[in-house]
Every structure is written in C-alpha cells, then in structure tokens.
Structure 1
C-alpha cells in the first residue's frame, strides 16, 4: 500500500506540473487546463503548472468581493468552493496523503538523517488560524483604495509558491531579480525555515500551517471515504500511532479514526496486526460511526 501511495504522489506531481515547454515558450502555461483546480497545494504561478491552486482561487474571489458587489455582481468563488466541497465530500484529506506534491516533498525531507522532533498537539489547530486570518479575513478586510484585497497567504506565507514559482521564475528571467525586494527575502526565509523544520518533524507544514488541509479536514467525518476503528479487535500495540505521519492516536481513545488531522494515508490500516482499522466508502451511518469510538474512549 505504501509503495502504491508513493507512485500516486509522484504521478499526480508530474500531472499537475506537466508543462515542460516553459523554458522555450511563455513563462506560464495559460491553456484551458489552467482554469481547472488542482486538488493539492500546487502554485498557479509555477512555470510547469497546468492547473490552478484552489486556495489561491478562493483568496482571489474574496479579495475582489467588494468591487464586484459595487458593480452589482455577486461573485463568491462558487466554482472553487464547490470544487473543495466535492473533493472533500468524497475523500476528506485523502488529497493530502495521496495527491499533494508539497506533502510528498515533506515526507522525503523527513527521511534525511537529522535529529527528530515531535509536535505539541495543540499546534494542530494552527491551520484553522491561518485559514481564518490569511485566506478569509485579510483578503476581505485589508484592501486598497479601490476595495481590492490580495491573496495574503500566497503573498506572505505559502512556501510552495516560493519553491515552485518564485525561485524558478527568477532563475529563468534575470530581469526579475532586480525587482525582487524584501518580500521575496521574507518568503525565502519562510521556505528555508519550513523545509528545515520538515527534516525534523514529519509533515510540519501540513500539521501546523496548511489552510487547504484544514478545509479538507473539516470533511473527514462526513466524507464517503472514511476509516473505521474496531476497538474489539484492538490489542493496544500502538503501531497505528507509530506509523502515522500526523501523530493521530485512536487506539487509546485520544483521537477518532476520522479526526481532521488524518490524511488518509492508510498506513495504520496496513500496519495493524489485528485489522482493527478498516476502510469504508459510502454514506455516513451515525450510529456505527460514533458509538465504537465513544465506547472505546470510555474504556
């Protein structure tokens, strides 16, 4: 299963960045595929990208909300919101574990032989703070004199944008280097710091910052694809927590199998010696979904 997941991550990374003519043609692909969202965190401005980032699309829609309302139009980014809703409803954070290129990069960095650090559990809530502040509040409230906001998460935080777009574009177009000011230095420092952290803490960006993962995580309990924990089969060996890239622990009642932190990598299912974790696909059945978790938590 893990090998299949790796291949899936590689194939989606290549498919989402398939415009390899950028060194000889226009710096950015502008074909019809660019109007469609790529499920994972993959920068729109990457020279090789053939799709749009849903997080960037959502910010742009909110940033232009005031001017469009003054013009008598109501554009809330329905396409992007609908895309996120459909993808989240089908698989929850499955995208994070199987598709997102930046998640794949973080897992690779963690394999480097450096000292490892754990993660303080309350930091799991930080992505929702980044979502509310940088993706929603600032694009709506921090506007220019015409009423336009900006995609502040992309502009100030997103390391994928710096890695996939900023650095390649500066390398390909020397004239851009003269106008790269303090903002690029700031973004480069964020990128370096996060990549260094990811070598010590597995998926540090996903677990503490990524707003896209936070959105998908909201669907984990209601998505068609879900994990189910069978406490009657569990022997409390802790293997599921040991292999989990986001530190989910449901064998001891700390987390449910469909907690927002779960990225659906299925390592726990493959590792469990007693098949106490199974995969389900279908409508949520509340009684079957919640009762075993509550009973086990009480135990």
Structure 2
C-alpha cells in the first residue's frame, strides 16, 4: 500500500488535477453558463468544491452542512455529517493535500517564481479557521434559519473564494444575465479571492492555513484517522530537513498527528534516511516496534 502512496506522492499535482477534473466533469456547462442539477448533486465531494461551479458534479460539504445543520428533521444533515466523518476517519487531512480543488489552485499559484515567506510568526492565525467552523458554519447554521429550519450558507455566501473562482466568474463569462446582476457582494468576494491568490504566490496555502473550515474539520480527524505518519527513532538522525521542507510549518518528528499536516509527503521525500513512513494502521505498535 505504501508503494502506491509513494507513487501518488511523486505525482501529487497530477492527482490533484485529475480529481479536480473528475469533480467538475460537466465541462460543457462552462460554455452554456448552466449549473448541473442532476442526481449526483445529492452527493458531497470530500474537498472544497463550489456547488455553483458550472461543471460541479457533486455538492460542497461545507455549504450542504450549513444549510441543514439547524434541523434535526432532515436526514440529509446526518448524511453530510457522517460522510465528513467517514472521509476524515480514513484519510484525515490527506484530503486537503490531494483531493481539494482550491488547495490545488493555491499550489499552482505558489509555483509562480517569487521570494517565498514563512508564516511561522503568524501561527496564532491558524486558529481562525476553527472559529469560522464553529461560529459561521455551525452556530450560524443552527440559529439563523428560516421557517423550514434551513440556513443560508453564510460561509459560502460571504467568505468562500472558491465560489467566486469556480462559480461566479465562469457563470458570468458565459451568461449575460448573471453578468448584469453582479453587485457589491461579488466585488467583496472577488477582493477576498484576489487577496488570497496574490498571497498564495508568496506564502504557501494561506486559505488552508488560516480560513478554511473544511480544513479545520479534517485537521481534527488527523488525531484518529486510519492513515497516519510515523517516524522511526532508530533511523531519524535529527537533521531537521523534514521541518525545513514542510510548507505547513509542521515538525513531523515531534508530532506525527499535527493538526496542520496535510499529508503531502514532502517530508518523506526530504528525509535522507527513510525514517518517515505511512500506514493505514492507527496504532504505531501495530506497524512496527521501531515507530513512535
């Protein structure tokens, strides 16, 4: 199994691109300016992918969760929560590293040649995404509902830059009617997207680090997910290459279940002694006695 993941890690951008294409496979809608509303839209994809993207075949888990979290009468709310827990329990934040289209977008933008900056000094900002998850996605979804106990997707409507990138921009290009009604909200969210895009050139995944509630949810599952990283004390020479390589500012030798680790595998590539390994077994003792 690790050989398969080793191959996938070596082709990570390719895997990200393929998954983004699969989840947005209704390509003809980009020309028509329509949104796919077929049966597949009742299924949530694991990554952040806008429902309003013309090509989107599935629903965004954050938007879907927020819309129905305030009602105990809708089985759909339990379905979404269960599906998110299912994804997180198996993979943890591996989903952020491999299966999130907006993460892929930030990765591509970061490849633009420029001076790169560390975000270690801003580490307190990483807690902002948990505040957004609890306050905007969950509490707002519980309190601010209509007569049917359905909430407006506040995060998607007012914050999420993916909605502008995948939804509003391509729809407005193809549909003159939508272009005509663009207003202040579009301008506001486009500004957010622009700030994140420009920031992504100089720092790695600013949205994932500081703002993404889906990343915050999956981060919590890093602690108990089946897919885990392990560091061999016998092989590790404490050279620090893994820490210096990690763009998410994680020291994998100190915490293999770090909430910020997106399981991208760059630390594994950097390790000169092959001290870092992965496994789907959640107990290190079950993998090998030398792992901690």
Instruction: Indicate whether the TM-score tops 0.5.
Output: yes
Q: Does 2:163 align with 1:174?
A: no
Whole-Å Cα distance in 2 between the matches of residues 24 and 182 of structure 1? 25
Whole-Å Cα distance in 2 between the matches of residues 200 and 12 of structure 1? 25
Whole-Å Cα distance in 2 between the matches of residues 39 and 217 of structure 1? 13
Give the superposition deviation at 1:150. Answer: 1.0
| Offset from partner CA, 1:275-296 (integer Å, 9 cap, x none) | 221111124358989x976xxx
Mapping of 1:1-299 within 5 angstroms?
1=7, 2-23=9-30, 27-63=34-70, 65=71, 73=73, 75=75, 77-119=77-119, 120-143=122-145, 148-251=150-253, 253=254, 256-284=255-283
Whole-Å Cα distance in 1 between the matches of residues 64 and 149 of structure 2? 18
Whole-Å Cα distance in 1 between the matches of residues 150 and 41 of structure 2? 23
Give the superposition deviation at 1:160. Answer: 0.6
Whole-Å Cα distance in 1 between the matches of residues 175 and 74 of structure 2? 38
| Offset from partner CA, 1:119-168 (integer Å, 9 cap, x none) | 12222222101101211112222345775431110001101111000111
| Offset from partner CA, 1:158-201 (integer Å, 9 cap, x none) | 01111000111111111222322211111111110111111111
Give the superposition deviation at 1:113. Answer: 2.0
- C-alpha contact 1:22 1:47 (8 A) present in aligned 2: yes
Aligned-residue Cα RMSD (Å) equals: 2.3
* Structure 1 equivalent of residue 4 of structure 2: none
| Offset from partner CA, 1:201-256 (integer Å, 9 cap, x none) | 101110111111111111112111100122332222221122223111133x3xx0
Aligned residues: 282
Whole-Å Cα distance in 2 between the matches of residues 270 and 245 of structure 1? 13
TM-score by length of 1: 0.87
Whole-Å Cα distance in 1 between the matches of residues 234 and 10 of structure 2? 29
TM-score by length of 2: 0.89
